[in-house]
Amino acid sequence: MLNALAQALIYIVPFLLVLTVIVTIHEMGHFLVARAFGVKVDRFAIGFGKAVFSRTDRHGIEWRVGWMPLGGYVKFSGDLDASSVPDNRGLDALRREIVAEQGVGAERAYFHFKPIWQRMLIVAAGPVANFILAITIFTVLFSLVGVELRPARVAQVVPGSPAAAAGFQSGDLISSMNGRPVEDAGEVVRKVNLSSGDPIRFTVERAGQPVQILATPARVTKEDPIAGRVTVGTIGLTLASSSAESRHVRYNPIEAVGQGVRETGDVLGTTLTYLGRIFTGRESGDQLSGPLGIAKASGALTNAAVAANPDPTAMAINLLLTMTSFAAILSIGIGFLNLLPIPVLDGGHLVFYAYEAVARKPVAAGVQEAGYRVGLALLAGLMLFATWNDLQKLNLFKFLGGLVS
């Protein structure tokens, strides 16, 4: 019982801590840009439910921490509905109410009466803050810790595999894929995993000469120590490099920023590629994860960091570095998710404001309400699908089947 509780804490606590930090940064992005434009704010909240901490500052802003650390929000003064985009009738009623209570001109401090470009920047600031957080984390890691670059040296070619059919040989050094230089073996793995059915042009160095190889990854289902059971592309290569070939690189601050931007862009590019392959039917979507899968990954990373070195100091450093890297990846995911054009998300609000900028009037209340309902349904469907994937990876249904029989 105690062991099960300890395992649950290992999986849940790191996930909640990382999520809380990311949500705080996201909401702080909205808040700081809003305050820069003089927007009146009622509340900045992290977590939901009954407040465990609450304080109102001299600007009348309530700073609150709820007991349930699963999100957060910034409440602007005058929010009328869940979509936070009132139509003309709602705006007129809000303006009359504000003028009656505070006098003419007071409405200019309210979010809904700010120019469209300011409202769009305020809404976009949340996801942008997530990307900035990721870039900052990567920059710090690349400059202070550095990265181990391992050349993509072919150690073994699986007989009968796509790699064998394409002409790969043991000892080949992969130098580029589709014309893009390869610095680390991990780049090859990520590209191949997301390219099942798509030919990849490899350039390898063999006996000092460049050789062109065209190979098409095949789809396989395998167990990943972090993600669980996933279906990915593979060509049948084992990559390994000697310690003499590997090099540890620490970048100067300017280079680290560039690498941080590149890493963030690569994660976003990989996400877009995967989603595009889902919509075109080339991926099953089994790598989409919900809270269960993310918590499982967090727990697996925690266990790996703890097991890497039994020394308490080394253990603490490994755990800190692992969770920091995990926070960067998760922050990118949350920023991307919020930019999707779904009405209940920041991206949906941006779509509404884009319409308002063109039509010179807000979206009708009925349309907003319908969009809000559709958005909730889409998010619920996505969450159910991701949770189904998580349960499948955890083999829960096989476990339940065993109980029944």
pLDDT band, residue 366 (cuts 50/70/90): confident
Determine the pLDDT at residue 324. 84
Q: Is 344 exposed, middle or buried (0-12, 13-18, 19+ CB in 10 A)?
A: buried
- Which is the catalytic residue, given 27, 107, 187, 283? 27
pLDDT at residue 157, rounded to an integer: 93
The H or E element that residue 221 is part of is: strand 218-224
| Average per-residue pLDDT for the chain | 81
Specify the range with the lowest mean pLDDT, choosing from 128-142, 229-243, 334-348: 229-243
Strand pairing class (209-215; 218-224): unpaired
- Distance (Å, whole) CA 286 – CA 231: 7
| pLDDT score recorded for residue 203 | 95
For residue 64, is pLDDT > 70? yes
Cβ atoms of residues 72 and 47 within 8 Å? yes
pLDDT category of residue 96 using cuts at 50, 70 and 90 = confident
> Which of the given ranges, 93-107, 127-141, 273-287, 315-329, has the highest pLDDT on average?
127-141
Q: Is the predicted pLDDT of residue 105 greater than 70, yes or no?
A: yes
Percent of the chain with pLDDT over 70: 79
Where are any strands of DSSP class E within 124-217? Answer: 147-149, 152-157, 173-177, 180-181, 200-206, 209-215
The pLDDT of 280-297, averaged and rounded, is 61
Rg (CA), the chain: 25
Q: How far is CA 305 from CA 148, 277, 289, 325, in A?
A: 17, 32, 22, 12
**What residue segments make up the domains of the chain, in order of their start?**
1-13+123-146+252-405, 148-249
Task: Decide: pTM greater than 0.85.
Answer: no
Measured CA to CA, the distance from residue 131 to residue 187 in angstroms comes to: 21
Residue type (1 letter), 51: A
Q: State yes or no: pLDDT of 399 exceeds 70.
A: no
- pLDDT score of 112: 86
Q: Residue 99, Cβ neighbours under 10 Å: how many?
A: 13
Residue 317's pLDDT is what? 72
In the predicted structure, residue 404 carries a pLDDT above the cut 50: no
* pLDDT value for 241: 81
Q: Judge whether 101 counts as a catalytic residue.
A: no
Assigned CATH for 148-249:
2.30.42.10
In the prediction, which pLDDT does 280 show? 76
Q: By percentage, how much of the chain surpasses pLDDT 90?
A: 35
